[in-house]
Chain A
Amino acid sequence: MLLDALLLQLGYNATLVAIGAALLGTAAGITGTFLFLRKRALVSDAVSHATLPGVCIAFLLMAAFGADGRNLAGLLLGSAVSAGIGLWCMNWLTRNTRLAEDAAIGAVLSVFFGFGIVLLTVIQILGVGRQAGLEGFLLGSTAGMLYSDALVIAGGGALSLLMILLTRRPMTLVAFDPEYAAARGLPVERIDMLMMGLVMAVTVVGLKIVGLILIVALLIIPAVTARFWTERSDHVVLLAGLFGGLASYVGAALSASAPNLPTGPIIVLVSFGFFALSLFLAPNRGVLAAVMRHMRFQRRVHLRQGLLALAQGQAIYESLTLRLLRRAGLVRADGVATERGKARASKALRDERRWEIVRGDMAHEAAAALYDGLRDIETVLTQDQIVEIDRRIGGPREVLS
């Protein structure tokens, strides 16, 4: 069953939904990366919650004018309008009052959502509530979706992706370094608005599949996941699109393969699976790598400090330093240096003296900038340079006390 789903064998609608979800996931991953790099990830939370009143008002209006209140295109148009208003309110609050952005986000999302709930109960009172199926917008539901709805979603996903492709250059530039972008004459404010427009588009298209509470996940998680694997912003964008598309596709297929597997939550959980793996296993920024690196670093610091203390005849107060020195066979159990320890210690001290010369000499400025207390001097200077420095150490000055 799952294999069937993954291979798009579960009927026309399920296939359309899976493709639509994949397109949407890719678009969301990429758009979310711009937000994430701009450190505004949770703006999407306000945008998505602010869609609810619009959906309800669109429904009420369409019903009042005798049209079918459930027309997906109409509902999505309404949601886009109210998300836009929410965004405007948020910007107004941060710009014109003392509130920080996080407070503005929280205020907009809770108030718009609260008002949306009021409208939902109004619709229920009017006696058309259950048929409306508007609750589906909270958590997304693809079960029993109409063919035309699936088409709207697939089309919307493709359209958002196209918009991203067209605007990716200026967008990346602004997301990465807004000041540089402004200096190059890019209209940063307008590009920011465009970015928000894309967030809105993705949110609106995703409402029916993942629902307004969870669409945020599609915008945030892939971007964060991608960040673990690369330091290059253009690669982050690509990877986020990939992760987002893949998670959405697998999630939609999984959800179609068995009952009681709601699409939105499944997509989010698959997405989180990718995130968790990356968090722990990514080669450079991953937790495992970082922990090992830190422990190695700490040992190097302690060993080096211990050697310098030995060389200068200072007492060593830290037990970790002593333990490491002992384990390396550099000091005996009673804390006295071994022969090897003495040799290593005097080498360490000599290197310190050499560094001191390097750092006091303008000619070696580039090398001096690399000093961090741990780097071996042989890695930054040639043997000839070191010999020259050793010659100078012979001189009369003594700075280090």
Chain B
Amino acid sequence: MTVELANTCETQDQDALIAQSPLSIRGLTVSYGEKPAVFSVDMTVKPGQMTAIIGPNGAGKSTMLKAALGIVPPVSGRVQVFGRALDEQRARIAYVPQRASVDWDFPTRVIDVVLMGLYRELGLLGRIKASHRAKAMDCLDRVGMGDFAERQIGQLSGGQQQRVFLARALAQGADLYLLDEPFAGVDAATEKAIISVLKSLREAGKTVVVVHHDLATVTEYFDNVFLINTRRVAEGTVAEAFTEATLQVAYGGRLATTQVDQLARA
């Protein structure tokens, strides 16, 4: 078996694609110790759509996202945001980390957490004005948490904490939203609230990328999927890439065949 080698015109197409993409990743490898968690992954997020990153536990979903954002250092790889280097485009990205990544006993209130989203706007020393507060309140209202603004964050339920994190991302007013497992361990009402906010973002022309673990809801929620298991397994629209074959590769023996059938047909 031989393989056709590069021709230059294909490379040019690729460059054009990268320039348009809200988030493009080329050859990203991230490793904790000697075993790569993510190996040589390429990803090109389509603008104005909702994309799910899916794969089994430990497949490197969150790691890929964190490396793309410069939170963990990659071994190799290039990340571009709207065709430019990440550092130039920080203001256009909003990131929602996993809920369990912080200590919720931290002495602060809900509204203060949302105001953190305005850091780039306020700078180190800028005063928080009434307009900033109004904006933060508006974001809290959008996720249905307006009544909780003065609460200590430790008193919230898991789903409420997740919505506060989403409100903080909304306050950033970004063009690209990256969410790490926003539906993990939240109640049904929260899941509904979050997905409706995300859909409204898409309607406003924003791009949304979600690390997702629930295969049953993929077709309902998302336009595109990105299947990963250390390597990229498939990337494309839900119809193209979320198939029995791709799931089989991504999940290996971990999904029963009947289950895969069901999902792919859904």
Tell me the A residues contacting B by CB distance below 8 Å.
98, 293, 297-298, 301-302, 304-305, 308-318, 320-321, 337, 342, 345-346, 349-350, 352, 356, 359-362, 365, 368, 371-374, 390, 393, 397, 399-401
Contact = CB atoms under 8 A, between A and B. Distances in A.
Contacts of B6: 310, 313-315
Given A298-B76, A317-B26, A312 B245 contact: no
B101 interface: no
A317 B236 contact: no
A304 B77 CA distance: 13
B1 A350 contact: yes
A317 B75 CA distance: 14
B79 to A, nearest CB: 10
A374 B231 CA distance: 11
B230 interface: yes
A312 B253 CA distance: 28
Interface in B4-49: 4-7, 10-11, 14-15, 26-27, 29, 31, 34-36, 39-40, 42
B175 interface: no
B231 A373 contact: yes
Given A298-B75, A346-B1, A305 B252 contact: no
B190 to A, nearest CB: 26
B183 to A, nearest CB: 26
Given A359-B252, A365-B252, A305 B3 contact: no
Interface in B217-260: 229-236, 245-246, 248-249, 252-253
Given A297-B34, A301-B76, A349 B253 contact: no
B3 A360 contact: no
21 contacts: A297-B31, A301-B75, A304-B40, A305-B27, A313-B10, A314-B26, A314-B42, A315-B11, A317-B78, A349-B3, A359-B252, A360-B245, A360-B249, A361-B252, A362-B252, A365-B252, A393-B1, A397-B245, A399-B233, A400-B233, A401-B235
Contacts of A312: 3
A309 B233 contact: no
Interface string B131-148: 000000000000000000
Contacts of B253: 361-362, 365, 368
Given A312-B3, A313-B5, A316-B27, 8 more contacts: A301-B29, A305-B76, A308-B40, A342-B5, A349-B3, A372-B35, A373-B39, A399-B246
Nearest to B249: A360
Contacts of A309: 27
B2 interface: yes
Given A360-B248, A373-B29, A373-B40, A337 B11 contact: no
Nearest to B30: A301
A312 B220 CA distance: 33
Contacts, number: 107
B87 interface: no
A373 B2 CA distance: 20
Interface of B: 1-7, 10-11, 14-15, 26-27, 29, 31, 34-36, 39-40, 42, 75-78, 105, 229-236, 245-246, 248-249, 252-253
Given A301-B36, A373-B40, A399 B249 contact: yes
Contacts of B248: 360
A317 B11 CA distance: 11
B249 A356 contact: yes
B4 to A, nearest CB: 7
A316 B40 CA distance: 12
Contacts of A302: 76
A318 B1 contact: no
Contact of A321 (B7, B15, B76, B232): B76
Contacts of A400: 232-234
B36 A372 contact: yes
B89 to A, nearest CB: 17
Nearest to A360: B249
Nearest to A368: B252
A345 B39 contact: no
B5 A314 contact: no
Contact of A374 (B3, B11, B39, B76): B39
A175 B55 CA distance: 35
A400 B227 CA distance: 11
Contacts of B249: 356, 359-360, 399
A310 B236 CA distance: 23
Top 4 A-B pairs ranked by shortest CB distance? A373-B39, A313-B6, A362-B253, A360-B249
A302 B40 CA distance: 9
A389 B234 CA distance: 20
A127 to B, nearest CB: 49
Nearest to B254: A365
A312 B75 CA distance: 21
A32 B77 CA distance: 43
Contacts of A318: 27, 76-78
Contacts of B245: 360, 397, 399
B101 to A, nearest CB: 17
Contacts of B29: 301, 305, 373
A94 B105 CA distance: 14
B201 to A, nearest CB: 27
Contacts of B40: 301, 304-305, 308, 373
A309 B14 CA distance: 13
